[in-house]
Amino acid sequence: MFHKVISLTRAVEKIPDGASVMIGGFMGVGSPHRLIGELVRQNRRHLIIIANDTARPGFGIGQLIDAKAVSRLVVTHIGTNPETQRQMIAGEIEVELTPQGTLAERIRAAGFGLGGILTPTGVGTTVADGKQVIVVGGKSFLLELPLKADFALLAAHRADYRGNLDYALTARNFNPIMAFAGGTVIAEAVEIVPIGVIPPDDVVTPAVLIDYLVERERINGR
Amino acid sequence: MDDKELIARRVALELTAGTLVNLGIGLPTTVARYLKSGMDVLFQAENGLIGMDPVPEPGMVDENLADAGGSFIGAVPGACAFDSCVSFGLIRGGHLDVTVLGGLQVDEEGHLANWTIPGKMVPGMGGAMDLVTGSKRVIVAMTHTAKGAPKILKRCTLPLTSIRRIDLIVTDMAVIEATEEGLVLRELAPGVTKEQVIAATEATLIAAHVVPEMVISA
């Protein structure tokens, strides 16, 4: 039967140095930890990472920071990762800080075919620098532009072999939104189940958005 | 009782049953400890949950259930999980009743600065700009001064979080309401005089002749 499952190694081999990569997760919760670990193992360089945060040293996206794999970051928060701050101050990494709701909507706009979004968040602050202000009904909004990436790396709770995904609790966060905005979308899941096991009403990310599913982790070599 | 506990206990009295509340990381998170027991307040975790229980039951930690700081939490019966667009739709769209945040500075116009000290501390704004812009009510919970220097100023010197006027400031010295007319001194912390608050505040405070003492939750 047609399916999208490939090995972890082959999945990450598709991502070249210098690629822009969206990574799901929030402080490492709901991040694709196996894909992140494999990016480090394959010594990827100069990545542009779009994500909520860089978690902490040694954990989640923090591992990519530790490995100096990232040259540019678009994130909402780096306060929990002193190594990200060190690399930013040393000029080794360029950081664009974005309000969290704006980041989510910019990604959604890219994936949903919109030309941008209008948000009141950031009006009158440094976030508005260089951005167009549009007045609608007497209220000011910032025009925030769509944000897409070459790749989106997702973590799901369950996937079926077609690539339908569901999520667990707060591990959902940016994953379903990024599924729309990556040129190539690679998902890892805790379990991969036969098609039909996830009821249609419970599918959060439709399989048509997923290009590759990472095969399940081998346990004791099996 | 230390200053932070005093602030958290006073903020707790601002929360009412049946509301949706977002607590910032740090001091604001501790407010949940001082709610009247059984009061039905729903807490939102901005990373995607309504119905956060700040402390998970022993043995019930789930690696997929954490707050915006990455700390493990619980979920109350009736909780629901959602993605980041829904979470910030709730926040920005006017569906969040109250947000409680920390502050670096607040000014006479009720503008809050709480996300960066350029050149010194650049953690990023996370959800703070959306929270202050979109929440129906914004409560700032902070110490009144930093190393003796006032934090309530005529004009913020740090980059603003939003140009929306916050609603209430609760400090270790006072409760101050931000209004169209300016900052109104509403309550004094136990043992603190009006003169002491005015001396520790750079902004002009509007104060009645007699300002009542702060009520705090038991």
Domains in chain A: ranges and CATH: 5-114+146-214 (3.40.1080.10)
- Tens of pLDDT along B164-184? 999 999 999 999 999 999 999
Size of interface A-B (CB pairs under 8 A): 148
Residue A2: per-residue pLDDT = 64
Under CATH, which number does the domain B3-207 receive? 3.40.1080.10
C-beta separation of A35 from A8 below 8 A: yes
Nearest beta carbon to residue B127 from set A27, A100, A174: A100
ipTM reported for the complex surpasses 0.85: yes
Determine the pLDDT at residue B217: 64
Tell me which H or E stretch contains A36.
helix A33-41
> How does DSSP assign A39-80, residue by residue?
HHHTT--SEEEESSB--BTTBTTHHHHHTT-EEEEEESB-TT
What parts of chain B have a pLDDT lower than 70?
217-218
DSSP A11-35: HHHTS-TT-EEEE--BTTBT--HHH
Spatial separation of the C-alpha atoms in residues A147 and A48, rounded to whole Å: 12
> What dihedral angle (degrees, nearest 10) is formed by the CA atoms of B106, B109, B110, B113?
-40
Is the CB of A136 inside 8 Å of chain B's CB atoms?
no
B127 and A CB contact within 8 Å? yes
For A23, what's the count of Cα atoms within 13 Å in the CB-facing half-sphere?
34
CA nearest A45: which of A19, A12, A11, A23?
A19
- Give residue-wise pLDDT tens across range B27-64: 999 999 899 877 899 999 999 999 998 888 888 899 99
Q: Return mean pLDDT, chain B.
A: 95
Q: What percent of chain A has pLDDT over 90?
A: 95
Q: Is B46 a known active-site residue?
A: yes
Which pLDDT score, from 0 to 100, does residue A141 have? 98
Q: What is the pLDDT of residues A5-48, one digit of tens each?
A: 999 999 999 999 999 999 999 999 999 999 999 999 999 999 99
| Cα-based distances in Å from A175 to A117, A212, B8 | 20, 15, 34
Residue A1: what pLDDT? Answer: 54
Quote the pLDDT of residue A216.
85
